[in-house]
Structure 1
Amino acid sequence: MAYNKIVVTGGAGRLGRFVVERLKQRYDVSVIDIHPSDVPGVQSADVDVTDLEALTAAFKGADAVVHLAAVPNPRTSSPEKCFRVNTQGTWVALQAAEDAGVKRVIVISSDSATGLHYNPKDWAPQYLPVDEKHPIRPSEVYSLSKEVTESIARCYSVRGKVEVLVIRPGHIVFAPEYPELGTRGSDVNNYHLWGYVAPQDVAQGIQLALEHPDGRYDCFFLGAADGLNERPTLEIMKERLGYLPEVRGDVFESNPNAGVFGIGHAREVLGYEPQFTWRDFGAR
């Protein structure tokens, strides 16, 4: 599908800057954010993503929307704000896109939608690697907001007026975190299950999802090719749980440090291939 104009909600945020920088090389990109974009040559507008009328007007003339705007961390917001912005903002963005005649929306969810990150003791991966068919059971507000986000996305896809694809990035690492990554990787109880992804690779996956010829609803984990763990993934997982879940496929044979959240679907369908590992950041 050919696009000319793309709108990125939350495009002035930490991830948004990487997405906008990448997409502007090929498209006419504009940003909706409560902060102005600092990417040269990119226009931005301060529009509340929970304001349907204003967002519909902002989407007029756009071919595609990348919906990044959300509360990205449950520890930096009240539960009420986290749930409202993440769920109502997604509904408004998709309704506005539909009303404005947008062709495709890429919705950013999270691998936390599985409910595995904050890990109740009785909720461990049912099998490894965790793929997009794995059961989900969120147990706190941020993960729940992402499950609802994905339900809203599926709903609008079923309606058939706008194409919707969902991206589930792993924990996106930015420069302030680099010195901590080695320590996190050696922590058996790391609450991200040692998963991570560079923002550049998330931007790659988003572009691939925009350009994918099949607009039917789909969901994709995006992560690095490995985990933060320097010990083999199955070894550290067995130590964490006291047992090893069912292992499917041969990914851990070819890459013993492969991530818990599998990226095989994104590789096969989108052609996604992560370019960065945590070692590229000088983290030890």
Structure 2
Amino acid sequence: MTRVLVTGADGQIGRAVTSRLLAEGYEVTALSLGYTADHPADRVLTGDATSVADVARALQGADALAHFAAIPHPSLGTPYEVFRVNTDSTFNVLSQAGELGIRRAVIASSINAIGYPNNPHDVMPPRFPLDESTVPDIADAYSLSKLADERTALFAHRRWGIDVVALRFPLVKWPHVLEEVRDEVADDPAQMVREGWSYLTMADAARAVQCSLESSAPGAQVIALSARDILLDGLSTELLARYAPGVPLTAPVRGNGTLVDTRRARVLLGFEAEESIHDGSATPEPARRGEQRV
């Protein structure tokens, strides 16, 4: 495997993944609706991941696919727009990659595939830690689109034999942004309790994508991700007891340990988060050349 098509390449995860893959010796084709700064990929294309022609052009010469093109939050479009764009782009890129005989893909799913974080109703997950088998309760279009994307991955594997890893990303930001979110959430911890105050640094997210591309795990795999600790300072069990009383904790959690079970990431991908915003280990955001600011 030498060339990877990265869709949504101008997004933060898309750029971080591109930089990591290039540093590891890969060639990268970037596809994005537009670019806010110079892009490091050796092949940079402007196009729409929902366009058959644009994706066909972008997949030329590709050995693998890393798909991040999406509307990333339910507030960034109407429910129909969010669902249509996200599911349309995922079906388009996976079906074309499968038809071409590409054998490996990774797609951005989300912790929202379980439905609780953005649920407009007063519901809690049935248990903690959260994992890939957590029963979903979905009432927003973004969460529905991510669950549908995971089923599209299963379809693509069954139809064409392409192996797909769907990474359930939690909150993923560069460390300075995560620290700002932590300080904000500390004033009202209830706002992130339904996702277990989970997060992942950008550098760890990029490494998880590389591990997924290099994994030999067959089929369509859904993988939950998290840092090894929670976003907030404090003991995880005490925070749960206060903000999610009555929700059972079904596995031991030490200190401020994560409330997401990441065993499948370790077993299937050989991935374990290395960075924390609490101990100075997080990689800072690099400077971007030619960034256009409004």
SS state at 2:130 partner: coil
Counterpart residue number, 1:125: 125
Aligned pairs for 1:1-284 within 5 A: 3-25=1-23, 26-36=25-35, 38-40=38-40, 42-119=42-119, 123-174=123-174, 175-176=176-177, 178-185=179-186, 187-191=188-192, 192-243=195-246, 245-250=247-252, 252=253, 255-279=254-278, 280=280
1:122, distance to aligned residue in structure 2 (A): 5.2
Q: What does the per-residue CA deviation read over 1:18-67, in whole Å, with 9 as the maximum and x for residues that have no partner?
A: 10000112211110111236333532111211112331232122110000
Moved more, 6-15 or 34-43: 34-43
Distance 1:177 1:127 in 2: 25
Whether the 8 Å contact between 1:60 and 1:101 is mirrored in structure 2 is no
SS state at 1:7 partner: strand
Counterpart residue number, 2:286: none
**TM score, norm. by length of structure 1:** 0.90
Aligned length: 277
Structure 1 stretches of 5 or more lacking a match?
Answer: none
1:112, distance to aligned residue in structure 2 (A): 0.6
Counterpart residue number, 2:288: none
SS state at 1:133 partner: coil
Change (3 A) 1:234 1:120: farther
Whether the 8 Å contact between 1:12 and 1:38 is mirrored in structure 2 is no
Distance 1:30 1:258 in 2: 37
Distance 2:191 2:173 in 1: 14
Where has structure 1 moved over 6 Å in runs of 4 or more?
A: none
Whether the 8 Å contact between 1:138 and 1:147 is mirrored in structure 2 is no
Change (3 A) 1:119 1:54: closer
Whether the 8 Å contact between 1:6 and 1:62 is mirrored in structure 2 is yes
1:247, distance to aligned residue in structure 2 (A): 2.4
SS state at 1:128 partner: coil
Moved more, 271-280 or 65-74: 271-280
Q: Over the residues paired in the alignment, what is the CA RMSD in angstroms?
A: 2.1
Moved more, 71-80 or 109-118: 71-80
Whether the 8 Å contact between 2:18 and 2:40 is mirrored in structure 1 is no
1:199, distance to aligned residue in structure 2 (A): 1.2
1:9, distance to aligned residue in structure 2 (A): 0.4
**TM score, norm. by length of structure 2:** 0.87
SS state at 1:106 partner: strand
Whether the 8 Å contact between 1:107 and 1:167 is mirrored in structure 2 is yes
SS state at 2:84 partner: helix
Moved more, 87-96 or 231-240: 231-240
Whether the 8 Å contact between 2:226 and 2:262 is mirrored in structure 1 is yes
Distance 1:176 1:246 in 2: 31
Structure 2 stretches of 5 or more lacking a match?
Answer: 284-294
